[in-house]
């Protein structure tokens, strides 16, 4: 009945549910289940696929199969990564030893992988997203919903562009985000953790993402604050660099706690200056205080920054990254640079002594000990 | 006036600025300097005396001498603790190796120590405060101002009584609080940290306390929220017990971060239910998130709880405390019991699964692993 009143109606089956304020992709009959594709298959992407694949089997409103786009690589034994994943149900390169679920299908063809998806989960290194979006224009379902698990932002002449905004604008679809205290390997081992979904306006869509990701060992909550949640995920890596410096300088737990608190304060202030819609309460969620804690206790940004400070800044982050991370990339250093550009461009450098100093230490202009001196 | 906006104020003779709105003790001419007494001389009390003694020498509005009440003990060599402190400027028992300042005078006579004080700093184990207050009735200056550095609360038939309230009510004086991410030995080593002063109504009084405690390595901020700040200092020890269980169970950083976040959320909710005046923003201060971090990383509550969980709850906290803490007391276990009594009395147990479960584990009714199961 009311279906005719909906101007953005493309493929009939889903829309029946729109009558009841539901979202299009939510009403899934036997022949009309939501299909999920994970775009990305690194460490976190593989864990996300595992979480999702377990739930698509459990809930009848999802299609069992979870398609996972794999950036094809040839392994040292000459085999293709995507083929090995499909044979073994394991991402032997980025999440070895963990079964993803037999309903995860690795697909090296990006356009093919997304073609039938109603729900797109983006989880690639952030620098690849602009290129991926360009390739996907016109290749996805018009009513698809997206969620980004990607940390980082694009800094352009006109200002910072969040990844969820990039996806929304380039692809013309709605995009939520999922962030939180989520060290991938610990979730793969099914140890208890939490995460936060940030959504823009439609709570039903957020609830659908919560349903897709939530597990007894992975508790997901939704807050109406895309930018706040996404900036938490992005900026926490800058704070982790600062915390790593404190560790390398052996300054103790009080100092580390103070630096983490000041970092959280700058994350909040920066987010609110950029987006007046950002809520203070978001920073009490898993994406805020909990992610700061886990990232500053154990993450790779913290670890490399500790080594940087122990070497007195005499070895570069590029060297340490190559030596310590086995091919994984360090996001904090590049995010710190991006944030610094935003601050400088807007005349805010002095308002954010911690963010500013992290970049100045990373780029060799200040010694690691400056991290404490400048925030006093 | 501008000075209220600057917590780090060092050079101006502040008191000249004490205008009409100033309080009695603030208007200090040459013959009318504020006299400070520290009531307590344990580990934290000694560090507080050191911080204060450095500032009373620096600012002319304070009397140089800082009197410190010492609960007299006879050391193993037969000497009196107070006499050794006065001879060596060191608290050889509770803060060995650190000079307190020659202007710290140890005084074993409580009534004598407080008699002339305009500013009273209370820093004793919380269970002694009721008795100390009884002894001090009628023995202090009527216009004296107090600050409490004491964690814990008294639970009575009529409800919980904060230590600052106990001091205010028993002695008829105003009482602020100072809490924060303050592991005493790290501050004694002058490593950078922060703290929060909570005050009730009069910002000038808060500023005066900030002036007394603030150092370049110890940054103090004031917020108008005595109860919020004090409850942070009290309740964080319960969260630290929970975090220690997670460590003992080797559940990883995501889980620890989640438990710390849920703990912070329960601290906030509990404080706001008890006192509607409590502000959310207080939990972003040093007394909130930073103290949770430092206490859950390195404190003694965390440490004993870790050992408790490693032993599968088969050794009691009393045994572990005696073995591991060399005479220091564990506050988290007794605070958890006090909080549990409040929750039970008000019918709030189910609203606070973490607080409730900490007590039930400590008292042997649940296994340590319950800490994660019940908060899911």
Provide the sign of the torsion angle of the four alpha carbons B348, B352, B356, B357, taken in this order: positive
Per-residue pLDDT, B158: 67
Q: What is the mean pLDDT of residues A207-235?
A: 97
Contact A181 B258 (CB under 8 A): yes
Please state, in angstroms and rounded to a whole number, the distance separating the CA atoms of residues A62 and B44: 58
Contact A258 B183 (CB under 8 A): no
Per-residue pLDDT, B299: 85
Would residue B298 be called left, alpha or beta, if left means φ above 0 and alpha means ψ between -120 and 50 degrees?
alpha
Per-residue pLDDT, A152: 79
pLDDT band for A297, please (50, 70, 90 cuts).
Answer: very high
Which CATH number is B228-373's, of 3.40.50.2300, 3.30.2350.10, 1.10.10.10, 1.10.1040.10?
1.10.1040.10
- Which one of A236, A292, A293 would you mutate to disrupt binding with B, by most B Cβ within 10 Å of its Cβ? A293
Chain B residues close to A260, C-beta within 8 Å: 289-290, 293
The pLDDT tens digits for B27-73 are 444 458 999 999 999 999 999 999 999 999 999 999 999 999 999 99
- Residue B254 has its nearest CB partner, among A186, A261, A280, at A186
Q: What is the mean pLDDT of residues A222-247?
A: 97
pLDDT band for B108, please (50, 70, 90 cuts).
Answer: very high
The pLDDT tens digits for B255-282 are 999 999 999 999 999 999 999 999 999 9
- Alpha helix positions (H), B220-299: 226-248, 253-274, 291-298
Residues of B with CB under 8 A from a CB of A: 8, 181-183, 186-187, 189, 191-194, 216-217, 219, 251-258, 260-261, 264-265, 268, 280-281, 283-286, 289-291, 293-294, 297-298, 372, 376
The pLDDT tens digits for B318-334 are 999 999 987 777 889 99
* B7 pLDDT higher than 90: no
> Searching chain A, which residue's CA lies closest to the CA of residue B371?
A192
Q: Among the options B50, B93, B236, B268, which is catalytic?
A: B236
β partners of residue B95: B91
- B58 annotated to bind ligand: no
* A26 pLDDT higher than 50: no
> Residue A251 corresponds to which tokens in the numbers above?
């300054």
The pLDDT tens digits for A64-88 are 999 999 999 999 999 999 999 999 9
The pLDDT tens digits for B163-198 are 999 999 999 999 999 999 998 999 999 999 999 999
Per-residue pLDDT, B31: 54
Per-residue pLDDT, B257: 97
Q: How far is the alpha carbon of A108 from chain B, nearest alpha carbon, in Å?
A: 31
| Beta-strand pair B193-198/B175-179 | antiparallel
- Give the max Cα distance, chain A: 70
Domain B13-224 has CATH 3.40.50.720: yes
Which of A157-161, A253-257, A281-285, B149-153 comes out lowest in average pLDDT? A157-161
Q: What is the mean pLDDT of residues B324-351?
A: 89
* B200 pLDDT higher than 60: yes
Contact B261 A181 (CB under 8 A): yes
Q: Let me know: does A226 contact A174? Beta carbons within 8 Å.
A: no
Contact B193 A264 (CB under 8 A): no
- Domain positions in chain A are 13-224, 228-373
What mean pLDDT, rounded, does chain A reach?
Answer: 90
* A8 pLDDT higher than 50: no
Chain A residues close to B189, C-beta within 8 Å: 252
The pLDDT tens digits for A88-108 are 999 999 999 999 999 999 999
Q: What is the mean pLDDT of residues A300-329?
A: 90
Question: For the complex shown, is ipTM > 0.85?
Answer: yes
* A11 pLDDT higher than 60: no
> Residue B5 corresponds to which tokens in the numbers above?
């906006």
Higher pLDDT, A190 or A32: A190
Per-residue pLDDT, A31: 54
Per-residue pLDDT, B130: 94
Q: Let me know: does B167 contact B230? Beta carbons within 8 Å.
A: no
Per-residue pLDDT, B32: 81
Contact B253 A182 (CB under 8 A): no
Q: Among the options A33, A35, A236, A256, which is catalytic?
A: A236
Per-residue pLDDT, A157: 61
* A25 pLDDT higher than 90: no
């Amino acid at each position: 009945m009311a279906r005719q009143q909906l101007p953005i109606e493309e493929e009939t089956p889903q829309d029946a549910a729109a009558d009841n304020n539901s979202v299009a992709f939510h009403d899934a009959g036997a022949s009309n289940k939501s299909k999920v594709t994970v775009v990305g298959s690194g460490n976190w992407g593989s864990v996300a696929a595992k979480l999702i694949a377990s739930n698509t089997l459990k809930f009848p409103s999802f299609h069992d199969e979870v398609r996972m786009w794999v950036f094809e690589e040839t392994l040292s034994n000459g085999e293709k990564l995507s083929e090995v994943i499909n044979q073994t149900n394991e991402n032997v390169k980025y999440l070895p030893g963990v079964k993803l679920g037999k309903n995860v299908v690795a697909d090296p063809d990006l356009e093919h992988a997304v073609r039938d998806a109603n729900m797109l989960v983006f989880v690639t290194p952030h620098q690849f997203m602009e290129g991926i979006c360009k390739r996907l224009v016109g290749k996805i379902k018009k009513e698809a919903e997206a969620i980004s698990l990607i940390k980082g932002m694009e800094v352009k002449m006109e200002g910072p562009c969040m990844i969820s905004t990039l996806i929304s604008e380039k692809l013309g679809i709605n995009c939520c985000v999922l962030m939180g205290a989520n060290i991938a390997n610990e979730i793969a081992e099914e140890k208890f953790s939490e995460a936060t979904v940030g959504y823009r306006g439609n709570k039903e869509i957020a609830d659908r993402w919560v349903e897709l990701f939530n597990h007894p060992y992975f508790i997901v909550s939704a807050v109406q604050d895309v930018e706040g949640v996404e900036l938490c995920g992005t900026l926490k890596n800058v704070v982790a660099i600062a915390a790593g410096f404190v560790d390398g300088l052996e300054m103790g737990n009080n100092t580390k706690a103070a630096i983490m608190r000041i970092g959280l304060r700058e994350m909040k202030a920066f987010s609110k200056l950029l987006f007046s819609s950002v809520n203070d309460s978001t920073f009490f969620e898993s994406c805020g205080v909990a992610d700061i804690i886990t990232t500053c206790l154990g993450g790779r940004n913290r670890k490399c920054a500790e080594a940087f400070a122990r070497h007195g800044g005499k070895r570069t982050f590029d060297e340490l990254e190559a030596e310590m991370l086995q091919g994984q990339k360090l996001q904090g250093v590049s995010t710190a640079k991006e944030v610094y550009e935003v601050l400088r461009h807007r005349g805010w450098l002095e308002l954010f002594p911690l963010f500013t100093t992290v970049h100045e230490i990373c780029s060799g202009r200040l010694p690691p000990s400056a991290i404490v001196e400048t925030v006093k």
